[in-house]
Structure 1
Amino acid sequence: MSDTSERQALVIGASRGLGLVLAEELTRRGRQVIATARRSGGDLQRKADTSRGRLRVESLEMTNTEQLAALRDRLDGTKLDLLFVNAAIDRGNLPITEVSAETFAEVMITNALSPLRTLEALRDLVVPGGTVAVMSSRQGSISLNTRPGFEAYRASKAALNQLMRSYATRYAEDGHTKLLVHPGHNQTPLGGPGAPLSPEESMPAVVDVLEAQAGAPGLQFLDLHGKVVPW
Structure 2
Amino acid sequence: MSRPRRCLVTGANRGLGLEFAQQLLERGDHVLGACRHPGRASALNDLVGEYPGRMHMLPLDTADARSIAELARELPLVFDGLDLLINNAGVLHSGERFGSVQALNLDDSFRTNASGPFLLTQALAPVLARGARVVNLSSSWGSIAELEAFRTPSYAISKAAQNMASALLAKALAERGVVVLALNPGWVQTDMGGAHAELTPAEAVAGMLQVIDGAGIADSGRFLDHRGEPVPW
Contact 1:161–1:180, Cα closer than 8 Å, also in 2: yes
- Give the structure 2 partner of residue 136 of structure 1: 138
Matched, 1:33 2:31: yes
1:1-40 equivalent positions in 2, closer than 5 A: 2-3=1-2, 5-39=3-37, 40=39
- How many equivalent pairs are there? 229
Q: Give the CA deviation at 1:120.
A: 0.6
| SS of match in other structure, 2:224 | strand
Matched, 1:49 2:42: no
With structure 2 as the length reference, what TM-score do the two structures score?
Answer: 0.92
> What letter corresponds to residue 63 of structure 1 in structure 2?
A
> 1:45, 1:78 → 2: CA distance?
22
> 1:102, 1:47 → 2: CA distance?
34
Aligned-residue Cα RMSD (Å) equals 1.6
Q: Give the CA deviation at 1:194.
A: 1.4
Q: Give the CA deviation at 1:113.
A: 1.0
Distance 1:216 1:82, change over 3 A: farther
1:109-148 equivalent positions in 2, closer than 5 A: 109-148=111-150
Contact 1:33–1:55, Cα closer than 8 Å, also in 2: yes
- Identical pairs, percent: 32
With structure 1 as the length reference, what TM-score do the two structures score?
Answer: 0.93
Contact 2:179–2:220, Cα closer than 8 Å, also in 1: yes
Q: 1:90 aligns with which of 89, 92, 114?
A: 92
Contact 2:180–2:221, Cα closer than 8 Å, also in 1: yes
Q: Give the CA deviation at 1:230.
A: 0.8
Contact 1:136–1:161, Cα closer than 8 Å, also in 2: yes
> 2:21, 2:108 → 1: CA distance?
26
> 2:55, 2:217 → 1: CA distance?
24
1:52-63 equivalent positions in 2, closer than 5 A: 52-63=52-63
> Deviation string for 1:34-90 (max 9, x for gaps)?
111211241111112111322111111222222221211112262111111111111
